[in-house]
Amino acid sequence: MLKVAVPNKGSLSAAASEMLKEAGYAQRSDPRELALHDAANDVEFFFLRPRDIAVYVGSGQLDVGITGRDLLLDSGAPAEEVLPLGFARSTFRYAARVGTATSPADFEGKRVATSYAGLVSAHLGELGVSAEVIRLDGAVETSVRLGLADAIADVVETGTTLRQAGLEVLGEPILRSEAVLARRVGAPGNPAVDQLVRRIQGVIIARQYVLMDYDVRAELVAEAVGITPGLESPTVSPLHDKGWVAVRAMVKSAETNRVMDELWELGARGILVTGIHACRL
Ligand SMILES: Nc1ncnc2c1ncn2[C@@H]1O[C@H](COP(=O)(O)OP(=O)(O)OP(=O)(O)O)[C@@H](O)[C@H]1O
Ligand SMILES: O=P(O)(O)OC[C@H]1O[C@H](OP(=O)(O)OP(=O)(O)O)[C@H](O)[C@@H]1O
Ligand SMILES: [Mg+2]
C-alpha cells in the first residue's frame, strides 16, 4: 500500500487535500484525523506537520509527501522534488529595517532571524558571510523591532507582513518556493508512485488549460492553428459546409480571451470555451 504524507495545517494543507481530492483520492473530513486509509486506491494518507514531511519521506517511512520546496531544502533530509504542484508560491528573502542594509554582505557580524536556519546558514556560508543565525518558529518579522535580530530571512508572498514591520527586502530571492511532491533520494521505481504522479499531473493540466472549439474557413485553418497550436496538435474536423472546418485545441486558461480575440479577428466564429475536469496526457 502506498503511504503518502499530507500537510495537516498551515498554508499548504487545504490546497494539498483539494488537489488530492481532484485526483480521485479520499481525504479527511475532520481536520483532527491523523491518518486516512483510502481502500479503493490502496493508499494511506498521513496528516503531518509540513516541516516534518521531508524527514519522514527522507527516512523511507513514507513513499511520497507534499511539502514546500523551502521546507524540503531546509530539512537537509535525503528527499528530492518529484513534481512542482503550482500552489503556495512564495519567495524566500532577506529583509532588514528600511535603509539599514543593501545586500547580505552587510550582515557580517550581525544577527539574522529565521525559521529556516538550515537554508540560511548554507546560503550565508556560500556567500562567505559570517553572521549569527537565530532560529525562530514564526512571526520572524517582529524580531527586528524587538531587538533580537538585525535582519531576517523569511517567506514573502505579497510583502504585506514585511511592510507592516517596517522592513524591506534586500538582494535577490534566496529561492522561489511552491508546494512540491517529494520522495526519498534513490528510492526504487514504484508503479503506485508513478500512478499518483500521473493523476496529479492530470489535475495540474486540467487547472491550467481549457478546451477551445471554433469554426473557421478552411483556407484559414493553418493560420488559426498557429494561434491555437494546442499541446500536441489540434483536432480539425470537416463541417457540412465544405468551406469551413471545426477546430478543437487546448489553450492556457490565462490566455483564453487574448486567443479568442485573435481568432475572431481572423474570422473564426462559434468560439466555445469549456473547462477540463480531468485528463491524462
Ligand atoms: N503567505 C504565504 N504564501 C504562500 N506560501 C506560504 C505563505 N506562508 C507560508 N507559505 C508556505 O507554506 C509552507 C510552510 O508551511 P507551514 O504550515 O509550516 O507554515 P505556515 O503556512 O506559515 O503555517 P503556520 O505558520 O501557521 O504554522 C512553506 O512552503 C511556505 O513557503
Ligand atoms: O508576504 P505576505 O503575503 O505578507 O506573506 C508572508 C508571511 O506569511 C507567512 O506568515 P504566517 O501568517 O504563516 O505566520 P508565521 O510567520 O507565524 O508563520 C510568512 O511566514 C510571512 O510572515
Ligand atoms: Mg507561517
Note the ligand closest to the C-alpha atom of 11.
1
Write down the pLDDT at residue 126.
Answer: 97
Q: What is the mean pLDDT of each run of 10 residues along the chain (281 residues)?
A: 97 97 96 97 98 98 98 98 97 97 97 98 97 97 97 97 96 97 97 97 96 98 97 94 96 98 98 95 85
Cα of 62 from ligand 3 centre, angstroms: 24
Residue 114 shares a structural domain with residue 171? yes
Nearest ligand, CA 95: 2
The verdict on the CB of residue 76 being under 6 Å from ligand 1 is: no
Calpha distance 200→132 (Å, rounded): 41
Task: Check whether residue 101 and residue 150 sit in a common domain.
Answer: yes
Q: Does residue 281 form part of some domain?
A: no
Q: Is the CB of 10 under 6 A from ligand 1?
A: yes
Ligand 1 atom nearest to 177, measured from its CA? 31
70 Cα nearest atom in ligand 1: 29
Ligand number nearest to the C-alpha of 157: 2
171 and 184 in a single domain? The answer is no
ipTM of the shown complex: 0.96
280 inside domain: no
Residue 232, pLDDT score: 87
DSSP state of 157: S
Please list, in sequence order, all residues whose beta carbon lies within 8 angstroms of the beta carbon of residue 158, skipping any fewer than 6 positions away: none
79, 123: one domain? no
Does 23 share its domain with 133?
A: no
CB-based neighbours (< 5 A) of ligand 3, an ion:
138
Is 133 domain-assigned? yes
- Do both 7 and 59 map to the same domain? yes
Q: Are residues 191 and 220 in the same domain?
A: no
Residue 171 domain flag: yes
Alpha-carbon span 90 to 177, nearest angstrom: 5
Domain with residue 242: its CATH number is: 3.30.70.120
Whether residue 76 lies inside any domain: the answer is yes
- 61 within some domain: yes
| Same-domain check for residues 100 and 159 | yes
Among 17, 115, 155, the mutation site with the greatest number of ligand 1 atoms within 8 A of its Cβ is 155
End of a domain among 125, 160, 176?
176
Predicted pLDDT at 206: 95
Nearest CA to ligand 1 atom 28: 68
**Could you tell me the CATH number of the domain that includes residue 158?**
3.40.190.10
Q: CA torsion angle for 79, 82, 88, 90 (degrees, to 10)?
A: 70
Q: Which residues form ligand 2's pocket by a CB distance below 6 Å?
A: 138-141, 154-161
194 lies in the same domain as 213: no
Using alpha carbons, list the distances in angstroms from residue 210 to 141, 204, 259, 278.
Answer: 40, 12, 12, 11
Would 36 be classed as within a structural domain?
yes
Domain count, the chain: 3
Ligand 1 atom 2, closest CA: 157
- The verdict on 76 and 187 lying in the same domain is yes
Quick one: 157 and 212 in the same domain? no
**pLDDT in the model for residue 179:** 98
Expressed as residue numbers, the domain containing 114 is: 90-176
On whether both 58 and 108 belong to a single domain, the answer is: no
